[in-house]
């Protein structure tokens, strides 16, 4: 698997609350939920702390164990909880949280996992696109702190990586034969908005990512964000992360290596 990635804080943000980790045969993308002002999270840590610890746990387990992706994520959430159970109230329903997107090659197959709104997009050898998008957050009746708190990690609500390892088993998952895949992309919503908000088709977004690379895709996002900023009621920019995992390039890069 040939992996390229880029992540960038929103131009007006103090810190990047996205995190990306890649290894020889895996890529992980996390998007920490920004804490609403005035909400007591019960946690002395900030969002970058949570996503970096979760990224580290996931990467450690992906490198050293051969668990299913939901089991990997459940153990990682548990591992992070252990790191602040002594200092923080992990029963607090507003405890910091993150989305999770994982792609992992294993032998002849490729596994993916999507928890909350960081989509994974697969393009097969004939150019067909499959978007794995967990849209349960979109189905909430509203986004007040009360509604989000009530519905978080609850059946019929939405699921995120935070203080409940069982959320990992609510993720969208799948396995695809490796030789049928051309490439797989992972995004946080700060980057996938090129398709979700700025009018590109998913196929065009993957094509762009493949042609210009992740950093140029994020540049394009910033440009489009600025262009529509006048009529946009939400925040103009968000932290943005894009990852491209290529499969056909494996054989090409080996055969083109100097003898
Ligand atoms: Zn904490």
Q: What digits encode the pLDDT tens for the residues 168-202?
A: 999 999 999 999 999 999 999 999 999 999 999 99
* Residue 112 CA to ligand 1 centre (angstroms): 28
Angle made by CA atoms 238, 16, 208, in degrees to the nearest 5: 55
* Residue 1 CA to ligand 1 centre (angstroms): 35
Quote the mean pLDDT of the chain: 93
C-alpha–C-alpha distance, residues 56 and 58, integer Å: 6
Mean pLDDT for 5-33 is 96
Contact assessment for residue 18 and residue 240, using Cβ atoms and an 8 Å cutoff: yes
- Whether 251 shows a pLDDT value over 80: the answer reads no
Query: What integer pLDDT is reported at residue 60 of this predicted model?
Result: 98
Question: Which strands form 172-177's sheet, in the order they lie side by side?
Answer: 18-23, 26-32, 98-106, 109-115, 172-177
* Residue 204 CA to ligand 1 centre (angstroms): 40
C-alpha–C-alpha distance, residues 28 and 186, integer Å: 8
Q: Which residues pair with 103 in a beta bridge?
A: 27, 112
Query: What integer pLDDT is reported at residue 255 of this predicted model?
Result: 43
Which positions ≥6 away from 123 have C-beta within 8 Å? 129, 181, 182, 183, 184, 185, 203, 206
* Residue 7 CA to ligand 1 centre (angstroms): 24
C-alpha–C-alpha distance, residues 50 and 64, integer Å: 21
Query: What integer pLDDT is reported at residue 248 of this predicted model?
Result: 72
* Residue 242 CA to ligand 1 centre (angstroms): 27
Contact assessment for residue 72 and residue 58, using Cβ atoms and an 8 Å cutoff: yes
C-alpha–C-alpha distance, residues 107 and 193, integer Å: 33
Query: What integer pLDDT is reported at residue 232 of this predicted model?
Result: 55
C-alpha–C-alpha distance, residues 73 and 67, integer Å: 9
pTM of the model: 0.94
* Residue 145 CA to ligand 1 centre (angstroms): 19
* Residue 95 CA to ligand 1 centre (angstroms): 8
* Residue 121 CA to ligand 1 centre (angstroms): 32
Q: DSSP label at 140?
A: S
* Residue 87 CA to ligand 1 centre (angstroms): 6
Contact assessment for residue 79 and residue 124, using Cβ atoms and an 8 Å cutoff: no
* Residue 72 CA to ligand 1 centre (angstroms): 21
């Amino acid at each position: 698997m040939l992996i390229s990635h880029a992540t960038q804080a929103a131009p007006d943000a103090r810190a990047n609350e996205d995190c990306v980790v890649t290894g020889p045969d895996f890529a992980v993308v996390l998007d920490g939920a920004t804490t609403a002002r005035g909400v007591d999270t019960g946690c002395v840590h900030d969002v970058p702390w949570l996503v970096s610890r979760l990224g580290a746990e996931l990467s450690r387990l992906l490198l050293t164990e051969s668990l299913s992706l939901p089991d990997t994520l459940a153990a990682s959430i548990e591992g992070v909880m252990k790191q602040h159970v002594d200092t923080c109230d992990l029963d607090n329903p507003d405890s910091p949280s993150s989305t999770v997107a994982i792609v992992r090659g294993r032998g002849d197959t490729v596994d993916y996992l999507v928890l909350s709104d960081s989509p994974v997009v697969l393009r097969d050898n004939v150019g067909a696109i499959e978007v794995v998008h967990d849209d349960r957050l979109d189905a909430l009746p509203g986004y007040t702190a009360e509604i989000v708190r009530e519905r978080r990690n609850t059946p019929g609500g939405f699921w995120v990586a935070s203080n409940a390892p069982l959320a990992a088993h609510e993720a969208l998952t799948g396995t695809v034969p490796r030789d049928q895949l051309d490439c797989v992309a992972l995004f946080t919503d700060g980057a996938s908005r090129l398709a979700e908000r700025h009018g590109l088709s998913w196929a065009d977004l993957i094509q762009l990512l493949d042609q210009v690379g992740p950093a140029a895709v994020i540049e394009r996002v910033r440009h489009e964000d600025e262009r529509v900023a006048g009529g946009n009621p939400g925040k103009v920019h968000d932290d943005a992360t894009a990852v491209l995992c290529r499969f056909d390039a494996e054989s090409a890069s080996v055969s083109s290596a100097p003898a």
